[in-house]
Structure 1
Amino acid sequence: METRTLKVVLDYEDYKKYPFLREAINDIRLFGLTLEDIGNTPLGSELLRNAREKILTVIEKGQYPIHGDDYRTEVASFLTTLILLSEIGDDALNEKFAIAFSKRIGAELSKEPIEKVLHIAINTLGWNISLDSNGDSLVYYKHYLQGVPEYTEEWKLVNRLLSKGFVRVPREKFTRLVETGIKKYVLNLIEKTRIEESKIPESLYKTVEEIAATWTNLRRELVAYARSAYSDKKEDLFPPCIRSLLSELSSGKNLPHSARFALASFLLSIGFSVDEVLEVFKVTPDFREDIARYQIEHIAGLRGSRTKYLPYKCENMRSYGLCRWKCENIRHPLQFFFRAARGRPPRVAEIQ
């Protein structure tokens, strides 16, 4: 079977369109941009803002935005989105982002010569592929299975031509295969992105909290799950610090201001309404509905500066004496909530 040799040279325009490419990421690494830069420099602030807007656009519109003019900004912003998504830690959001991103890439790849699409699949996805003289792609079956779109009968291996371990894929189908492969590749990048808690800039953490709150409020099933967990006293969905505050509240203890803020902001961030949070606090000995409602509405951003306040991160919870636990790979109470809601509650150990 005759095959064709690939001759492809990528340039900065390609890096701009395909910021996940190994070549693009390696190029950006030469600039030596650090996490500290993201948190403390004008360029870093721009990257963080771009990454935030990309994720929020995916959440609100289901689309990954069209790329900008500067390839370095596009690649660095993409890498920043991986950090943000990893810190939020919600599988459903990661899936939504990866789908939107891969569809945007798929639309770009559909305009490219087949040689360039093959180059990306070989050099970034690591697939074993060749191109035959008819323009069809010959994909090693294990790599073919990595790119098979879900829930589609025609893509099943039993319905494809297989010869010596390679699957023949026509040109018009190959881009779709690569699109799904890119989705899985991005999900893997998010999963592998791990940052030490002490190295995360405050500005980045605030962005994580803002995106997490927006995402939670749009996911009705999560809100319903949280409400059910609270009403049925099945609060394993909540991190131990929040469970402890709820327990103290129900036992008639007067919580300090920091504890009330932590609990109210957490419940509001996972979708509780002001009235539902108010109901939670009605058991406090010094409860006054007018004062409590004002304070909760202020936290919810309905009064005063109209700024919606987000829950304390774990470090702050400990500094206020509100947390005595260490939850594996968790840096924020909302992270715990997302993972527990997906059936993956983190391991918890009490700090001695």
Structure 2
Amino acid sequence: MDALDAKYPFFASAREAVASAAVSLPELVATDAPAVDRARERVERALLEGTVASESGAFPGESAYDAQAELLSYPIARILVSLLDSDPAIEKYAAAEAATAVERVRRDLETDDELRSVSTATVGLDDLLAEFDLADAVRPDATAPAGARGAGAAAGGGAGRDPDSYRIDVGPYLRLTSPEWGDSWRLVNRALADGAVRVSREELLAALEAAVEARVAEGLPFELGADEEIAAALESRVADLRRLLSERTYAEPPDVIDRDLFPPCMTNLIHKAENDTELSAAESFALMAFLVGIGMTPDEVVAFCADTSLDAEGIRYQTEFLTDDRGTQYPPPTCETLANYGICHNEGDHMQVAPDPLSYYEKRVAAADDVTDWRADRETDGTGAA
């Protein structure tokens, strides 16, 4: 098992490495091996933050886990997600695995050519295309200006950076992309010639990210069958994940932003951030999920948290992750779960009013005689969007 397998565990070679290794997944789970803890972290960070990278290091070799634990955490994570038996959780997990993989690919592509030639832990676009049987369907765009084809392509091939423009056969293009990504992805709006569509390198990476996501999601959830002992051994970790992410859905958000009516836990988190204290991952997720849950857009959340310790780029990434167009948004965790994380202290015995922050806020808004919407104040003082 090498670092490349650990970085890209969905590759066929990584699956073969797991299959040929003299390790037993039931035994790893039974002994609570490091791969099990890493698998739990993998799923939790996927659901909370849209990444599966370890908090102790973004890439294998930089984290506290060795290549074997990193690689074996992938099949165990798939077991955890299967035991959750939740379509939204599966979608979030697959999307996070894919997003993390493409970020690693970008890092590999930025690696100096000379270093890449002696490294066994990086991949190029050719490797990724071959992995998904796209080697014959994608090629550098010979009709693009020389500068857009990259230094190597402009010189007729050979060493040099990867091209910036490609052609992908229309069949794979339609299979990997979606018009829901925006009008620019619709075939009628693309440069189509000789059965191939022109795409930029970033657009090609987006299509490959979709291919990774589909592969990760394939077969999930699966029945454990004879491995019921694994399910029993993982029961507490699965329960923690279920408590962390309440899957209760809401018909309509309150769609009013009155900070005076926020539940105590959310008010405390806002005050903490306003005092320039960094929020933990669980605290940040709880706050972002609440703000999204009451109907705020990513732009509004960025503006609302402008004078806090929260980073605008991080806010936008997390809120867009929570408000994607596939209907897989997660409401804030329940008060019980937030209490387990030290976030909720049940001030005024408010758990008797509602079991979670969003329900609490909904009830306060409904009962309020007068509601002051932050949006209206923002427009009045001239800080609203034009």
Within the alignment, does 1:18 sit opposite 2:8 as a pair?
A: yes
The aligned residue for residue 163 of structure 1 is 193
CA–CA distance in structure 1, aligned partners of residues 83 and 223 of structure 2: 8
The aligned residue for residue 154 of structure 1 is 184
Q: Alpha-carbon deviations, 1:48-106, whole Å to 9, x = none?
A: 11111121122333332223323222221011111111121111111112222222222
Within the alignment, does 1:203 sit opposite 2:233 as a pair?
A: yes
**Equivalent position to 1:46, from 34, 37, 40:** 34
CA–CA distance in structure 2, aligned partners of residues 198 and 71 of structure 1: 25
Q: Note if contact 1:140-1:166 (Cα within 8 Å) is conserved in structure 2.
A: yes
Q: Alpha-carbon deviations, 1:100-138, whole Å to 9, x = none?
A: 222222222223349822322332466752323543433
Q: Using the TM superposition, give the Cα deviation of residue 14 of structure 1 relative to its aligned residue in structure 2, in angstroms.
A: 2.5
Q: Secondary structure at the match of 1:84?
A: helix
CA–CA distance in structure 1, aligned partners of residues 240 and 220 of structure 2: 19
The aligned residue for residue 31 of structure 1 is 21
CA–CA distance in structure 1, aligned partners of residues 96 and 60 of structure 2: 17
Q: Which consecutive unaligned segments of at least 5 residues does structure 2 have?
A: 111-122, 143-148, 150-162, 253-332, 338-351, 356-386
The aligned residue for residue 68 of structure 1 is 60
Q: Note if contact 2:3-2:67 (Cα within 8 Å) is conserved in structure 1.
A: yes
Q: Secondary structure at the match of 1:167?
A: strand
Describe how 1:50-129 pairs up with structure 2 within 5 A.
50-65=38-53, 66-69=58-61, 70-113=66-109, 116-124=124-132, 128-129=136-137
CA–CA distance in structure 2, aligned partners of residues 60 and 223 of structure 1: 22
CA–CA distance in structure 2, aligned partners of residues 143 and 82 of structure 1: 27
Q: Alpha-carbon deviations, 1:194-246, whole Å to 9, x = none?
A: 31165342212332222122222xx452799xxxxxxxxxxxxxxxxxxxxxx
TM-score (norm 1): 0.53
Q: Note if contact 1:52-1:207 (Cα within 8 Å) is conserved in structure 2.
A: yes
Q: Note if contact 1:125-1:182 (Cα within 8 Å) is conserved in structure 2.
A: no
The aligned residue for residue 298 of structure 2 is none
Q: Note if contact 1:35-1:199 (Cα within 8 Å) is conserved in structure 2.
A: no
* Segment of structure 1 superposing worse, 130-139 or 90-99: 130-139
Q: Note if contact 1:22-1:123 (Cα within 8 Å) is conserved in structure 2.
A: yes
**CA separation of 1:68 and 1:112: change in aligned 2, threshold 3 A:** closer
AA of the residue aligned to 1:175: L
**Equivalent position to 1:138, from 167, 187, 207:** 167
Describe how 1:225-236 pairs up with structure 2 within 5 A.
none
CA–CA distance in structure 2, aligned partners of residues 142 and 200 of structure 1: 43
CA–CA distance in structure 1, aligned partners of residues 228 and 45 of structure 2: 27
Q: Using the TM superposition, give the Cα deviation of residue 143 of structure 1 relative to its aligned residue in structure 2, in angstroms.
A: 1.9
Give me the identity figure in percent. 19
AA of the residue aligned to 2:40: R
Give the superposed CA RMSD: 3.6
Q: Alpha-carbon deviations, 1:259-297, whole Å to 9, x = none?
A: xxxxxxxxxxx95979xxxxxxxxxxxxxxxxxxxxxx9
**CA separation of 1:170 and 1:273: change in aligned 2, threshold 3 A:** closer
Q: Note if contact 1:63-1:100 (Cα within 8 Å) is conserved in structure 2.
A: yes
CA–CA distance in structure 2, aligned partners of residues 117 and 32 of structure 1: 31
CA–CA distance in structure 2, aligned partners of residues 87 and 101 of structure 1: 18
**CA separation of 1:162 and 1:223: change in aligned 2, threshold 3 A:** closer
CA–CA distance in structure 2, aligned partners of residues 273 and 195 of structure 1: 30
Q: Alpha-carbon deviations, 1:18-62, whole Å to 9, x = none?
A: 2211111211211143332133235xx321111111211223333
AA of the residue aligned to 1:46: P
**CA separation of 1:166 and 1:48: change in aligned 2, threshold 3 A:** same
Q: Note if contact 1:95-1:187 (Cα within 8 Å) is conserved in structure 2.
A: yes
In the comparison of the two structures, how many residue pairs are matched? 219
Q: Secondary structure at the match of 1:64?
A: coil
TM-score (norm 2): 0.49
Describe how 1:217-228 pairs up with structure 2 within 5 A.
219-221=247-249
**CA separation of 1:107 and 1:37: change in aligned 2, threshold 3 A:** same
**CA separation of 1:14 and 1:35: change in aligned 2, threshold 3 A:** closer
AA of the residue aligned to 1:118: D
